[in-house]
């Protein structure tokens, strides 16, 4: 089942300008999500003038948000917060107008701690990858 932005907002707390997923769907391997970087996003205006590049931390956030459907059921009662990032690598610059495809799979789960393996692609080339860890906390 594919979810659009409006449906994703029922699962995750993010809103514009920090909602960084256009649509997402479950696959046999895990979850695949897409986000098209706007032509002039706020996060590239100073990074770098005349040569806009999506910051690595934003790529990590795109991967994290693109992985949410892996643990959608747990988010009915909880909020997922970053607990860590491991083995994060950046291979290719992402620029305004690029369509970022995130493929993610569930890693280890221990109680309220979850680990996701995520890879972001532009034009079928890896631009970023890493293991993202989340801690589930009460929404309040």
- Catalytic residue numbers, as ranges: 47
Question: What's the token pair of residue 22?
Answer: 């256009």
For residue 13, what is the DSSP state?
-
**Cβ atoms 67, 59 nearer than 8 A:** no
**112 DSSP 8-state letter:** T
**Exposure on the CB side of residue 125, measured as CA atoms within 13 A:** 9
d(CA 30, CA 26): 6
Give the C-alpha separation, 54 to 74, whole Å: 30
CA distance 47 to 102: 22
How does DSSP classify residue 65? H
């Amino acid at each position: 089942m594919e979810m659009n932005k409006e449906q994703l907002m029922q699962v995750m707390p993010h809103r514009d300008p920090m909602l960084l997923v256009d649509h997402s769907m479950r696959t046999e391997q895990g979850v695949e999500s897409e986000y098209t970087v706007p032509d002039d996003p706020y996060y590239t205006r100073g990074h770098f003038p005349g040569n806009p590049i999506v910051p690595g931390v934003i790529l990590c956030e795109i991967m994290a948000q693109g992985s949410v459907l892996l643990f959608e059921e747990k988010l009915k009662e909880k909020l997922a917060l970053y607990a860590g990032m491991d083995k994060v690598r950046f291979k290719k610059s992402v620029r305004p107008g690029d369509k970022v495809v995130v493929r993610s799979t569930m890693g280890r789960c221990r109680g309220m701690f979850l680990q996701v393996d995520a890879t972001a692609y532009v034009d079928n080339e890896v631009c970023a990858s890493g293991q993202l860890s989340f801690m589930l906390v009460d929404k309040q």
